[in-house]
Amino acid sequence: AQSVAQPEDQVNVAEGNPLTVKCTYSVSGNPYLFWYVQYPNRGLQFLLKYITGDNLVKGSYGFEAEFNKSQTSFHLKKPSALVSDSALYFCAVRDARGTPLVFGKGTRLSVIA
Amino acid sequence: GAVVSQHPSRVICKSGTSVKIECRSLDFQATTMFWYRQFPKKSLMLMATSNEGSKATYEQGVEKDKFLINHASLTLSTLTVTSAHPEDSSFYICSASLSGSDEQFFGPGTRLTVL
């Protein structure tokens, strides 16, 4: 069975500094990896995904993530954080098309002005 | 991009009543829809997977007689919380995917409060 670990409940970063939100996964077979962002009382918004191809994936709002197969990681990054990036971030994985996503517990990002 | 809507966005009901939540794919036909439940400050927990025209597949520990799911068309799935109790209060989120697609599109969620 697949699983996702987001080791940090909370990440604090100063505005303008780079940010990283960590994610590691476990699947059998090739992973399909996703990052979503959730604002208060809202549904999930898609940020980016890795299915195949380049290990560095670029997504919405300047976010990117790097797939590292040897470390089974898919960390989310942004070179320069904005206060508006403050939200709850979820990493998710699936192991085949049509199967439901398995989510990590989420990491709350706070960007301080 | 693909849009999924949910209705209502918020509902408050009395204990013992039933509540129906609708999930619609607005600009695509969703062969599969998923229902999740999110507790405060917690991750999304998959409740069930529904395929159009067939019975939903429930995750372990989810009562199928309490959480009735109907996927009558390729654009609509409904979740009915029957005989709701305060412990059913939660944020319910649906998502939809196309056949063969690797992506799920999420609705905005429904906040259910049972008094």
A37-75 confidence digits (pLDDT tens): 998 877 889 999 999 889 999 999 999 999 999 999 999
| CA nearest to A23, candidates A110, A83, A109, A112 | A109
Q: What share of chain A is helix, strand, coil (3-state, %, to 5)?
A: 5, 50, 45
Mean pLDDT for chain A overall? 92
| Whole-number Å distance between alpha carbons of B86 and B84 | 7
A–B CB contacts, 8 A cutoff, strictly below: 53
pLDDT of A98: 59
- Residues B21-27, mean pLDDT to the nearest whole number: 93
Residues 6+ apart with CB under 8 A from B79: B20, B21, B23, B35, B47, B67, B68, B69, B92, B94
| Whole-number Å distance between alpha carbons of B91 and B47 | 12
- Token readout for A32 is 């399909």
| Whole-number Å distance between alpha carbons of B48 and B84 | 18
Chain B residues lying within 8 Å of A90, measured CB to CB: 43-44
Chain A residues lying within 8 Å of B4, measured CB to CB: 43
Residue ranges of E strands in A41-112 = 44-50, 56-58, 64-68, 73-78, 87-94, 102-103, 107-112
- Please compute, for residue B26, the number of CA atoms within 13 A of its CA located in the half-sphere on the CB side: 11
Mutation target to probe the B interface, by most B beta carbons within 10 A, among A4, A44, A46 is A44
Single-letter amino acid code for the residue at B54: S
| CA nearest to A90, candidates A55, A63, A52 | A63
| Whole-number Å distance between alpha carbons of A4 and A9 | 14
Contact criterion met (CB < 8 Å) for B101 and A97: yes
Which residues of chain A approach chain B closer than 8 Å at the C-beta?
32, 34, 36, 41-46, 49, 51, 90, 94, 97-98, 100-106
Q: Which residue has the higher pLDDT, A101 or B24?
A: B24
pLDDT of A97: 62
| Whole-number Å distance between alpha carbons of A75 and A47 | 13
Chain A residues lying within 8 Å of B96, measured CB to CB: none
The β-bridge relationship of strands A10-14 and A107-112 is parallel
| Whole-number Å distance between alpha carbons of B81 and B4 | 20
- Closest CB to B103: pick one of A41, A49, A100: A49
Q: Which residue has the higher pLDDT, B68 or B104?
A: B68
Contact criterion met (CB < 8 Å) for A104 and B106: no
pLDDT of B42: 76
Distance from CA of A29 to the nearest CA of B (A): 15
